[in-house]
Structure 1
Amino acid sequence: MENMKKIFLVLMQVILLAFCFGGCSLGDAEGESSNSERRRGTGRELGSRQKLRVANWNVQTFFDSTTSGLEYDEFKKDGSWGQEAYTVRLERLCQVIKALDADVFVMEEIENEGVMMDISNFLAGEWDKKKVYAYGCFAKDFGAAIGCGVLSRWPISGLTVHGVDFRKQKSDMPRMRPLMQLSVCKGSRMLTLMVNHWKSMSGGENATEKWRNVQESVLSRKVGEELALGKAVLCCGDFNRDIGKFKKGTDSGTILLRELAFGKQNDFGVEVLSPWYDFSQSLVEPGSYYFNGEWSRIDQFFYAGDAEVEYFEAAASEPWSEGESKIPKKYKIWNGSGFSDHLPIVCDVSF
């Protein structure tokens, strides 16, 4: 394990703040690139279709026990936060991961790669060896307190981190999380996974929407490039935008991920599907986030190309939700209770 940690440190220096373990190959960290020619239908004769269960969860400011100075104020000020509290919370997180039993587990609001290693090591020592997450990756921006991580039972390749170009924006740019793009390989098939954590609504939903529009444009372009190559694409993450506030596509159940042109949002981009809408176009209950007495659906899966979501739910089981109400049990640092203020979302995707 010490040798593995040394390898991580070398990779971290080469590709900024992104890392993989378990044999993952890495792409270069980059900004937006040009669109490829839009073409469909290639790469679909690689073998029989495969299926993966994918879980996505905003785990609510999951910091380790070491003070780096980047932690949120409540973790700096609370005298009860330390190794013991961290270990208890780590065990609790792993309890949920085991219960959901996903092939790929995506998390937002993880502090660093060390937390990812702790999760992987804990699960490896406590669980069925056939279900160990042997592969994983993590990325965050320089100076950021938190980032996103992926654990997988199947090989990961081609991790690429897409930043955002703010030079066309007149306002002071907030800190923004990059888009993670990677491939998960099962058998002879490959699924492109795009992990998102968009700008929060802190500062006002309307005032911050323009920054989410920028991130939407980056995602739209990258999805379009993958679709042009005939890929199966699954997007996931905490988008900090309710599903009802995305632009509807031309067909029932479709969402238009829009691109920016000359700093303005236009009605062009790529169409994707959302599993929040059932066959009757009603919204799946419950949502994934509960605030001010209302459910919202800000955590998303979007799928396109050769990907098809066959099952979806906001996993509202106990002990991480409040029984009949299904409200997520928010983590409370002052007494160490709870899990997260989001529910995990889970889907079965074939490709």
Structure 2
Amino acid sequence: MKFPALLALSVILFFSCAACSLPFGDDPAPSELSILSWNVQNLFDDVSDGGEYEEFDPAEGTWTSAMFQKRLDRIGEIFDDVLESYPDIVLLQEIENLHALQILGEDILKDRYPWLILFEEEDMSVHTAVLSSVPVTSTARLETGYWGRVRLRPIQEIHFDLNGREMILFNNHWKSRSGGSAATEEGRISAAEVLVSRIRSIVRDNPDALILAGGDFNENHDEYKKNGRAYRTALIPVIEDVPEEWSGSLYLCSDGRDAISTEMRLVLYSPWFDSSRAGTYVYKSQWNKIDHFFLWKSLFDGRDYDFAEFDVIRDVPLLNEYNYPARWDSYSEEGYSDHLPILLKIQNNDI
């Protein structure tokens, strides 16, 4: 069943919170928060709704309840056996619908996340989703426009309550590079312009807002350099000398204290500048750093919450014999995802 976005949200919140005790309450704000982002590679349920990719359509006879359950179990295995602990907030990409998210949250992750958020779109086969043990106070869906006739995936905007301190998180899944990086770049630029405009608006009113953007951006943090500076990209290192009219791109710095918002540029911190990890996704035997967290300067000011750690989860179950991501293969019914998860931690300096 398809629900309008706000109704779908209220239904999933009711289902997920009905039997849960909510976190925090009168307790002190947590000393550390962990946030995981993972493109799980097409998690489709076992119900044929008409919008599935052929490989995952039960009506085609190639996708079964047993295979769906195996996908769920594989995700659960990573949470139970690979991660040191369950993250406080989880950003997911490529979830089919609310039904798939609810089963994942309730049956596999055992109701550890009272808040499950996904806005179903009639014209999209997969969606972004958020699972949270941190109280959610409000949500919004940011439309990112079209690439040609193709409607681009909206960005999820989620507001959290850290015992009186608001945190704003954006879950992204930008246009893929299928069809060529240069040919599809306008789709990613369109999403960047929406994200940049929204963050500028927030920090204009509240420069101290805790803001993070995460997800699958389908673009390296240094994509402009990688393409030989041949064309504009959605993500650009702030050190690059580029035309002023490219102000809608998202600029990235290697020191969080240098993050800034002006009419000409929004600059956020990218942990990839300080990471030794090879990447999260492999294409033609080359690692790519296309899964990201971007942070506003308030997470580097020494007050309340500050950036603490960033890492790529690359334990053996997630890697194949070539040490590349062990992507899910429906024919062999093996694998996990073609992306590796990334994990961000922030610490409360006041505790």
TM-score range with shorter-chain normalisation?
A: 0.7 to 0.9
C-alpha root-mean-square deviation of aligned residues, in Å?
2.8
Distance 1:284 1:222 in 2: 31
| Aligned match for 1:284, one of 252, 256, 276 | 276
Runs of 5+ unmatched residues, structure 2: 16-27, 224-234, 241-245, 250-261, 300-305
Deviations 1:140-167 (A, max 9, x none): 433210101111111112110011345x
After superposition, the Cα gap between the structure-2 partners of 1:191 and 1:287, relative to the gap in structure 1 and judged at 3 Å, is: same
2:12 is the alignment partner of 1:13: no
2:55 is the alignment partner of 1:70: no
Partner of residue 157, structure 2: 181
Partner of residue 206, structure 1: 182
Deviations 1:70-95 (A, max 9, x none): 11122238634111111111111112
| Aligned match for 1:151, one of 131, 135, 138 | 131
Contact residue 173 and residue 216 of structure 2 kept, 8 A: yes
2:90 is the alignment partner of 1:136: no
Partner of residue 331, structure 2: 334
Amino acid at match of 2:309: Y
Matched position secondary structure for 1:285 = coil
| Aligned match for 2:238, one of 229, 249, 254 | 249
After superposition, the Cα gap between the structure-2 partners of 1:267 and 1:74, relative to the gap in structure 1 and judged at 3 Å, is: farther
Distance 1:295 1:267 in 2: 34
Amino acid at match of 1:13: P
Contact residue 76 and residue 109 of structure 2 kept, 8 A: no
Contact residue 37 and residue 215 of structure 2 kept, 8 A: yes
Question: Shift of the alpha carbon at 1:202?
Answer: 1.1
Deviations 1:8-28 (A, max 9, x none): 98xx3363765574469xxxx
Question: Shift of the alpha carbon at 1:52?
Answer: 1.1
Matched position secondary structure for 1:211 = helix
Contact residue 310 and residue 342 of structure 2 kept, 8 A: yes
| Aligned match for 1:57, one of 20, 24, 38 | 38
Amino acid at match of 2:173: H
Residue correspondences, number? 296
> Comparing 96-105 with 289-298, which one deviates more in the overlay?
96-105
Distance 2:7 2:114 in 1: 23
Contact residue 54 and residue 105 of structure 1 kept, 8 A: yes
Distance 2:39 2:198 in 1: 22
After superposition, the Cα gap between the structure-2 partners of 1:337 and 1:14, relative to the gap in structure 1 and judged at 3 Å, is: closer
Partner of residue 29, structure 1: none
After superposition, the Cα gap between the structure-2 partners of 1:291 and 1:50, relative to the gap in structure 1 and judged at 3 Å, is: same
Question: Shift of the alpha carbon at 1:326?
Answer: 3.5
| Aligned match for 1:345, one of 342, 346, 349 | 342
Deviations 1:308-329 (A, max 9, x none): 3211111001212237x54110
What is the TM-score when the length of structure 1 is the normalising length?
0.77
Question: Shift of the alpha carbon at 1:97?
Answer: 2.5
> Comparing 77-86 with 150-159, which one deviates more in the overlay?
77-86
Partner of residue 291, structure 2: 299
What is the TM-score when the length of structure 2 is the normalising length?
0.77
Distance 1:151 1:14 in 2: 16
Question: Shift of the alpha carbon at 1:350?
Answer: 3.8
Amino acid at match of 2:6: I
Distance 2:7 2:30 in 1: 35
Question: Shift of the alpha carbon at 1:215?
Answer: 0.5
Partner of residue 318, structure 1: 316
Deviations 1:173-230 (A, max 9, x none): 3231001101122223221000100011111110110111010000101111222223
Distance 2:11 2:92 in 1: 14
Runs of 5+ unmatched residues, structure 1: 1-7, 25-46, 252-256, 261-265
Partner of residue 218, structure 1: 194
Distance 2:316 2:247 in 1: 37
Distance 1:139 1:269 in 2: 30
**Moved >6 Å (runs of 4+):** none
Deviations 1:91-147 (A, max 9, x none): 11112133322111110000001111101112454xxx8xx1111201243321010
> Comparing 74-83 with 90-99, which one deviates more in the overlay?
74-83
Question: Shift of the alpha carbon at 1:276?
Answer: 0.7
Contact residue 5 and residue 119 of structure 2 kept, 8 A: no
